[in-house]
């Protein structure tokens, strides 16, 4: 299936039904009084996050979505039925924004929690509503209110704990296949990955995290070159970035340090917050480096790259070093999760007191 992470849709909530003007007609009752009912409300439009969906492809080919209008009121005190609601199911992580202004309206982060994105119009009042002591035979009614109409932009940012960065053919797909349940396409040519891949990494019973692989970046990606710029948005919700570097490029003229610096530069140009995320250096394909040269090559790379953070030496193909890396990732992700769930600090003005802390 083609991966689609952006779509535009038009949604229309149902109009409310009109109120009714009617009077009772019964034998021997010349003035039966008003009995016109109200119109029914229009149908609402809801959006709900669905764990079983991973693309917005359904909305690329089905753009307009309309809810039913409410029925009109009728005589004999009969109110119109409400219009049927419609529910649009979208992947978890979908951002719904106004297509014209770009303002973010909703974010679907919790599965199976419906969000009303367009409200149906209220029904109009029948003449029964206008009856009073001085107006015994009202002929007033009101039309139904129109439902909301919106032009929306849908944008998917996948929910993953860890994101992979690297040049094309750096071994990201091999790595995610080695440590998770993902089965991406793997081949010995650049841009094998054409869309993001998600994989669940199992560390132990009830211990896991989600890892995301995006198409490789190239120099100029922040200006739209290559495929990576289009998918960098999927790394914005991650807690950790793994910068995977090919330590054994096919072309001897290729400098891994220059490639790594290009990735960092493009990341910084694209989004300062993404650049500031915790980032680990993963030196891959060391199985293709002679054992006697590994230590010197790694030391030289780290020195010229001027890297001060964590460094992991692995071979995704043989899975050498992958287990230690996975354990370290889980510990980091778990610590971040615990920190985010920690209770708020108590205001020192109320410390040790029984006063309310509102």
Rg (Cα) of the chain, in Å, rounded?
A: 30
Show which of 103, 132, 156 is a domain's final residue.
156
Q: For residue 216, what pLDDT band results from cuts at 50, 70 and 90?
A: low
Show which of 156, 171, 194 is a domain's final residue.
156
pLDDT confidence of residue 345:
52
Contact 89, 48 (CB under 8 A): yes
* Domain assignment present for 304: yes
The pTM of the full predicted model, rounded to 2 decimals, is 0.64
* Percent share of the chain, pLDDT over 90: 31
pLDDT confidence of residue 274:
81
* Domain assignment present for 356: no
Number of domains comprising the chain: 2
pLDDT confidence of residue 93:
83
pLDDT confidence of residue 303:
92
Residue found by looking up tokens 């091999």 in the block: 174
Helix (H) or strand (E) holding 7: strand 6-12
pLDDT over 80 (residue 194): no
Mean pLDDT of 197-219: 73
Burial 211-238 (b: 16+ CB within 10 A, else e): bbbbbbbbbebbeeebbbbbbbbbbeeb
Question: Helical H runs in 180-275?
Answer: 228-231, 256-270, 272-275
pLDDT confidence of residue 248:
85
pLDDT confidence of residue 346:
47
Give yes or no: residues 54 and 191 share one domain.
Answer: no
Show which of 156, 176, 199 is a domain's final residue.
156
Give yes or no: residues 42 and 152 share one domain.
Answer: yes
Q: For residue 2, what pLDDT band results from cuts at 50, 70 and 90?
A: very low
> Could you tell me the two tokens for 352?
């040790």
pLDDT confidence of residue 358:
41
Helix (H) or strand (E) holding 338: helix 322-341
CATH number (domain holding residue 55): 2.70.210.12
Give yes or no: residues 181 and 45 share one domain.
Answer: no
3 state DSSP class of 107:
strand
Q: Which of 202-206, 241-245, 253-257 has the highest mean pLDDT?
A: 241-245
Least confident of 119-133, 168-182, 254-268: 168-182
Give yes or no: residues 116 and 222 share one domain.
Answer: no
The range of the structural domain enclosing residue 13 comes to: 6-156
pLDDT confidence of residue 308:
87
- Residue 108: partners with Cβ closer than 8 Å, 6 or more residues away: 47, 48, 49, 90, 91, 92, 93, 94, 95, 96, 115
């Amino acid at each position: 299936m083609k991966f689609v992470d952006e779509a535009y849709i038009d949604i229309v909530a149902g109009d409310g039904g009109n109120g009714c003007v009617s009077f009772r007609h019964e034998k021997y009752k010349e003035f039966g009084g008003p009995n016109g009912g109200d119109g029914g409300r229009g149908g609402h439009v809801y959006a709900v996050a669905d764990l079983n969906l991973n693309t917005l492809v359904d909305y690329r080919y089905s753009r307009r979505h309309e809810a039913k209008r409410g029925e009109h009121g009728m005589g004999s005190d009969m109110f119109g039925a409400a219009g049927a609601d419609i529910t649009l199911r979208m992947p978890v992580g979908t951002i719904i924004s106004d297509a014209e202004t770009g303002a973010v309206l909703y974010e679907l982060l919790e599965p199976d929690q419906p969000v009303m994105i367009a409200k149906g119009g209220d029904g109009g009042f029948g003449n029964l509503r206008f009856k009073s002591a001085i107006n015994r035979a009202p002929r007033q009614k009101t039309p139904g209110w129109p439902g909301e109409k919106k032009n929306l932009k849908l944008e998917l940012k996948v929910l993953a704990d860890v994101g992979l960065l690297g040049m094309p053919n750096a071994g990201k797909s091999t790595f995610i296949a080695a440590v998770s349940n993902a089965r991406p396409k793997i081949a010995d040519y650049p841009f094998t990955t054409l869309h993001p891949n998600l994989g669940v990494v199992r560390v132990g019973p009830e211990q896991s995290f989600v890892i995301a692989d995006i198409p490789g970046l190239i120099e100029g990606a922040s200006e739209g070159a290559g495929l990576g710029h289009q998918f960098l948005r999927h790394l914005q919700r991650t807690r950790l970035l793994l910068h995977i570097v090919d330590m054994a490029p096919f072309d001897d003229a290729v400098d891994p340090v220059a490639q790594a610096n290009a990735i960092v530069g493009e990341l910084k140009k694209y989004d300062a917050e993404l650049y500031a995320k915790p980032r680990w250096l993963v030196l891959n394909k060391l199985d293709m480096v002679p054992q006697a040269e590994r230590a010197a090559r790694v030391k030289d790379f780290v020195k010229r790259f001027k890297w001060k953070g964590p460094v992991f030496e692995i071979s995704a193909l043989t899975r050498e070093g992958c287990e230690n890396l996975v354990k370290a990732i889980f510990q980091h992700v778990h610590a971040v999760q615990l920190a985010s769930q920690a209770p708020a600090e108590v205001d020192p003005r109320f410390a040790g007191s029984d006063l309310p802390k509102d």
